[in-house]
Structure 1
Amino acid sequence: MKYLISALIVLITLTAVLLLVSPEKKRITNTVRNDSGSEFIQLSEGWTEYELAGPENGEPVILIHGLSVPMFDWDRQFYILAESGYRVLRYNHYGRGLSDRPRGNYDAGRYIRQIEDLMASQNWTRTHIIAHSMGGAIAAEFVKAHPESVDHLVLLAPALYMAEGNTGITLIRIPLLGDIMAMTALSGLLASRAEALFEAARIPEAEEYKNAFREQIVYYGFSRSVKSLFRHDLVKDLSDAYRTLDGRKTLLIWGSRDESIPEDHIKTIESLVPDLELKVLDDVGHMLNMEASQTVNPLILDFLK
């Protein structure tokens, strides 16, 4: 009994310390949503933060952001596409921005269902998709599940195999150790990574985006959602999903200075999808949609015509 009580005290103390260290101190409430100025829609697994613009009769376009940078990822494409006559929808994944952080697995199925629900909410049966980084992995899985629902596909620095050579993901996948890391260090590590990406993009909004990124990590469920993501299928080798894109009109844009998506992964995707159109931008990094929007946007608009 004495040892049981001692173990219980240690467990309670450890839990208290972890909760104190964690940046997650707030809950996403209706008041938070109402005060944010954003639009929200109730989907099958929770509230999703989104934005919709462009003429109602325009061709639909869905923008899918990456691992951790929420939908402001698309600031330099969203309005241009809308002004060009497209009906454009950008949104935050579950666990990002002010979208809900539902319990359960953050696997490909959850991200696919979120897109299905968004399309159903707009009565869309087909759409163009533009996706960045991990968003490319989600897009490939969505096309695999619904090949009839996607017209043109644009992939910006798409993720193929996120777990390969990634020590952080490997550690998070270890039971208990990964749980402790998720509660104490994961949010900070992702914030530091995002800040480095914004700096490398050499954009005037870098400080604004750093602050905007950190706003999402103070809400309960952020690190839990990323931990679950790292423990499920989207971080594995997705060659089979990309292989299903063969024969589909696909544009892939990648920057030669990208330190997140290696060149050999891009070459692998190119080999799996022989018909894709590949554009390599010299001296451009992972946030190519921000850093090189003056080049990326015309490529996208020309491709969608």
Structure 2
Amino acid sequence: MIEWFFAGLAGVILAPTVAEVLRPRMGPSARQSAPGEFAELSRGVTHYQWLGPEGGPLVVCVHGLTTPSFVWEGIAPRLAEAGYRVLTYDLYGRGYSDRPRGAQEGGYFTAQLEELLAHLEVADRFTLIGYSMGGAIGACYAAQHPERLKKLILLAPAGMGHDLGPVARLVVNYGGFGRWLFMAMYGRSFRKGTETERDMPSSVPDIVDRQQNELRYRGFRGAVLASMRGILDRDLEEEHRTIAECGLPVLAIWGRDDDVIPISGMGKLAEWNRRAEHDVIEGAGHALAYSHSEEVLRLLRPALESAQK
């Protein structure tokens, strides 16, 4: 009897690992329907897409923790129609990009962006737009390379020391047990969270199904956990103060009803960078990039125009 008990316990413990190993890798077959192109970078393949006329003012868009570059589909084409040359790409661990292992600190993501820009031979200065975790990545990149940017635009940006709750703290702080708990629970939690957006108006077609499709592939869960333990596990006061000292123009756009990146982060950013400008979209939550894309575009247009002067 006791042998059956321990066998069952072992099965429960090993189940999340076995399930992850059995998931398909992101590879050529999964990429057959991907728009855009691919770059072989030092850590693996990165999927990217150009929109808009060559020679137009350059805008680079960085997505967040769990929504790949398709999150920009309600915004990037409209910027392209306005004459901007827009680059979107999938961060490692998401979308059609590879899922390399490693601690996902700021340098992990800024290196990917630096290598991609070098691969594409982008030498001109550009405006960087970062959404959610992409805002944290944007701040890290801007602090390292302010000379490359015309302006930094942040949508509901991470990096202000927000608290994701007791379960997230447990997952982040307790090594192997935290990883086991995350791998066992995250799929169900992610599906439940995204299902709440099923009836929400969205400028990105089928966004709930496309988000949930990320769970099919090996490495997505590990990438999310690595980011939670990495770039999302600290505030970016030093980076934002560096950006302020450099005089780089910054615009932050917040959702009034955001319960993931609370609007209280606006106060922290204002303290760290008194030159930063702020706008608030009433009635918007954390999904503002696709739930309120028209309002976001309305704020982006003058900000992008001012960056060209």
TM-score normalized by the length of structure 1? 0.89
Tell me if the contact between 2:256 and 2:285 (Cα under 8 Å) persists in the aligned partners: yes
The 5 A counterparts of 1:75-224 are 75-125=73-123, 126-161=125-160, 164=163, 166-173=165-172, 174-196=174-196, 198-199=197-198, 201-203=200-202, 208-224=206-222
The 1:284/1:23 distance shift into structure 2, 3 A limit, reads farther
Find the counterpart in structure 2 of residue 268 from structure 1.
268
Aligned counterparts of 2:65 and 2:199: Cα–Cα separation in 1: 17
Aligned counterparts of 2:161 and 2:221: Cα–Cα separation in 1: 17
Find the counterpart in structure 1 of residue 71 from structure 2.
73
CA offset at residue 63 of structure 1? 0.4
The 1:23/1:79 distance shift into structure 2, 3 A limit, reads farther
CA offset at residue 110 of structure 1? 0.9
Coordinate RMSD, CA, aligned: 2.6
CA offset at residue 102 of structure 1? 0.4
Matched, 1:284 2:280: no
The 1:146/1:209 distance shift into structure 2, 3 A limit, reads same
CA offset at residue 191 of structure 1? 3.4
Which one-letter code corresponds to 1:264 in the other structure? S
The 1:223/1:23 distance shift into structure 2, 3 A limit, reads same
Which one-letter code corresponds to 1:132 in the other structure? Y
CA offset at residue 100 of structure 1? 0.5
Give the number of equivalent residue pairs: 300
CA offset at residue 205 of structure 1? 5.3
The 1:24/1:217 distance shift into structure 2, 3 A limit, reads farther
CA offset at residue 162 of structure 1? 5.1
Find the counterpart in structure 1 of residue 49 from structure 2.
51
Which one-letter code corresponds to 2:192 in the other structure? S
Tell me if the contact between 1:153 and 1:250 (Cα under 8 Å) persists in the aligned partners: yes
Which structure 2 segments of 5+ residues have no match?
none
CA offset at residue 20 of structure 1? 5.6
Which structure 1 segments of 5+ residues have no match?
none
Tell me if the contact between 2:74 and 2:203 (Cα under 8 Å) persists in the aligned partners: no
Select 2:59's aligned residue among 54, 58, 61.
Answer: 61
SS where residue 217 of structure 1 aligns?
Answer: helix
Tell me if the contact between 1:128 and 1:153 (Cα under 8 Å) persists in the aligned partners: yes
Which one-letter code corresponds to 2:193 in the other structure? R
The 1:31/1:142 distance shift into structure 2, 3 A limit, reads same
The 1:15/1:29 distance shift into structure 2, 3 A limit, reads farther
Matched, 1:25 2:62: no
Tell me if the contact between 2:162 and 2:262 (Cα under 8 Å) persists in the aligned partners: no
Tell me if the contact between 1:160 and 1:269 (Cα under 8 Å) persists in the aligned partners: no
CA offset at residue 268 of structure 1? 0.8
Aligned counterparts of 1:118 and 1:143: Cα–Cα separation in 2: 16
Tell me if the contact between 2:203 and 2:293 (Cα under 8 Å) persists in the aligned partners: no
Aligned counterparts of 1:290 and 1:215: Cα–Cα separation in 2: 18
Tell me if the contact between 2:36 and 2:50 (Cα under 8 Å) persists in the aligned partners: no
Which one-letter code corresponds to 1:113 in the other structure? A
The 1:36/1:282 distance shift into structure 2, 3 A limit, reads closer
Aligned counterparts of 2:161 and 2:189: Cα–Cα separation in 1: 16
**Percent of aligned pairs sharing the same letter:** 31
CA offset at residue 64 of structure 1? 0.7
TM-score normalized by the length of structure 2? 0.88
